[in-house]
Amino acid sequence: MIESRHKYLFLFPALFTLIAIIIFPLVYTFRLSFSSWDVVQPTLDFIGFDNYVRVFNDMRFWESLATLGTVVLSVVSIEYIIGFALALLLWQDIERNRFFRVLFIIPMMATPVIISVVWRTMFHESLGPINDLLTMAHLPTVPWLSKPTSALIAVIIVDIWQWTSFIFILLLAGLLSLPHEPYEAAAMDGANRFQTFWHVTFPMMAPITIGILIIRIIEASKIMETVYVLTSGGPGTSTETSAYYIFIRSLREFQIGYSAAMSIVYLLLMILALMLIAKGLTRGLVSKGG
């Protein structure tokens, strides 16, 4: 670490810009969570902890949290594995493989609201291509959006399709900015491909991996549009995630006070979970690198 009188010049512009923009919405949301603002009375009255008590008794909220957990755990781990594998396959041989590199970045550029509709048409069981191609290949068709398990899998597939590119591009950039010395050393030691990966690449990538996983977990947890378009939470409540549930309660039903309370609870739980995850990852990945 370097010390400098100028250090605040670096941090403060960003910090204060951010705080200036978000302070009002944050405080306001917190205040809303203690009010009964709803569709008939848009007022900031004070009803104590009523909304919070309701959150704790709302089974649908907790179920949606569990669904969210399943979705996020699956998508982030699968995306990480695939994204890392693809990045490793493509970070050398710079001149060749440009096509693949560009292609693999593209899915995350698709507007989520729209591309979900395209996916919905793909999953359509009688008019869409997926079941049609399965039939042509003499494979059994899948009730994509109409059975709880397959609907959840459909949601997961769309997320993987779109966001593996996010992890891929970040890991690729990470790999490309790695220092060269360790590789030269490893080559001198006669390490093979796998050993080089395990003892050189992986440890050096550990810090950025943690950063990427955390941000992916945060973003994946906001999954809402995909759910809305593909299944609208159904069949039953099988694909209802927290963000989607909060969306229904807030902007569909205008239970603004109540959804503010749900968001605050969600925010606190997420912060707690992320701190635990970050700690776990740091211990698991970084210490090992040594």
Partner 1 sequence: MRILVYKGIKYLVLILWSAFVAGPFLWALSTSFKDDAAVVSGATYIPFVDFEPSLDGWKVLFSATEGVNILGPFISSLVVTLVSSLVSLALGTLAAYGLSRFTFRAGPLGNTDITFFFISQRIITPVVLAIPYFLLLKMFRLLDTHVGLILIYIAMLLPIVVWIMVDFFNNISTELDEAALIDGCTPVEAFYKIILPECTPGLVVTGLLCFIFAWNDFFFAFTLTFADTQLLPVSIVALNSSKVPWWSLSSSSLIAILPLVFLAIWLERFLTRGALLGPLK
Partner 2 sequence: MVKNRMTKIVVTIALAAGLSAGGVARADKWSEKYPIKEDVPGPASYEATSKKDYKGRTLTILTHAIPVMGEPTALHAKQFEKLTGAKVKVVHVPFGDLFQKAMIPFQTGQAAYDVMFYGSLWIGDFHNYLAPVPGEYIGMPQMQEVTRNYKDVATWEGRMIQFPVDGDRHYLKYRSDVINNPELRAKYKEKTGKELRVPQTWKEYAEMGRFFNNWDWDGDGEKNYGSAEVVARDNLMFSAIISRVAPYAKHPDVKGGFFFDLETMEPLVNTPGWVEGVKDFVEAQNYMPPGGNNFGLGDEIFSFGGGQTLFSYSWDDAFVQAMEPKSRIRNLVGAAPLPGAHKVWNRKTGKWDKFDTPNRAPYICWGWTSAVIKASKNKDMAFDYLAFFANPANHASDLLVGRFGVNPYRTTDFDPKFYIKEAGWAPDVAKTYCATLSGMDKSQNRVFDLRVPGVNQYMSSLAAGVSKALAKQLTPQQAMDEVAVEWKQITKRLGKDRVRKAYANVVALEDNLKR
Give the residues lining the site for partner 2 (CB under 8 A).
Answer: 36, 38-40, 42, 60, 123-127, 131, 141, 143-146, 148, 151, 228, 231-238, 248, 251-255
Of the candidate spans 50-58, 62-70, 139-147, 206-214, the one that interacts with partner 1 by CB under 8 A turns out to be 206-214
Options 70, 121, 141, 195; binder of partner 1; rule CB under 8 A: 121
Q: 51: which 2 tokens?
A: 């909304």
Query: How far, CA to CA in Å, does 212 sit from each of 169, 206, 270, 284?
Result: 11, 10, 16, 15
Q: Is residue 111 close enough to count as binding partner 1 by CB under 8 A?
A: yes
Q: Which residues contact 242 (CB under 8 A, 6 or more apart)?
A: 61, 64, 65, 67, 68, 221, 262, 266
Given a contact cutoff of 8 angstroms between Cβ atoms, the answer to whether 35 and 44 are in contact is: yes
How open is the CA angle 140-142-145, to the nearest 5 degrees? Answer: 170
Cβ 59 to partner 1, closest distance in Å? 19
Cβ 238 to partner 2, closest distance in Å? 7
Work out what residue 207 binds among partner 1, partner 2, none; the CB cut-off runs from 5 to 8 Å by kind. Answer: partner 1
Options 40, 46, 48, 127; binder of partner 1; rule CB under 8 A: 127
Q: Is residue 271 close enough to count as binding partner 1 by CB under 8 A?
A: yes
Options 78, 108, 277, 286; binder of partner 1; rule CB under 8 A: 108
Task: Calculate the CA 89 to chain-centre distance.
Answer: 24
Backbone angles phi, psi at 172, to 5 degrees: -60, -45
Query: How far, CA to CA in Å, does 187 sit from each of 22, 79, 214, 238?
Result: 50, 30, 33, 51
CA distance 233 to 251: 15
Cβ 34 to partner 2, closest distance in Å? 15
Map residues 18-37 to x or -, x wherever contact with partner 1 holds by CB under 8 A: x--xx-xxx-xx--x-----
Given a contact cutoff of 8 angstroms between Cβ atoms, the answer to whether 218 and 274 are in contact is: yes
Instruction: State which residue, 17 or 149, has the beta carbon closest to partner 1.
Output: 17
Cβ 209 to partner 1, closest distance in Å? 9
Work out what residue 152 binds among partner 1, partner 2, none; the CB cut-off runs from 5 to 8 Å by kind. Answer: none
CA distance 60 to 40: 23
Cβ 57 to partner 2, closest distance in Å? 11
Given a contact cutoff of 8 angstroms between Cβ atoms, the answer to whether 112 and 228 are in contact is: no
CA distance 168 to 155: 20
**133-172: contacts with partner 1 (CB under 8 A):** 133, 161, 165-166, 169-170, 172
Cβ 242 to partner 1, closest distance in Å? 8
Cβ 147 to partner 2, closest distance in Å? 9
Instruction: State which residue, 32 or 156, has the beta carbon closest to partner 1.
Output: 32
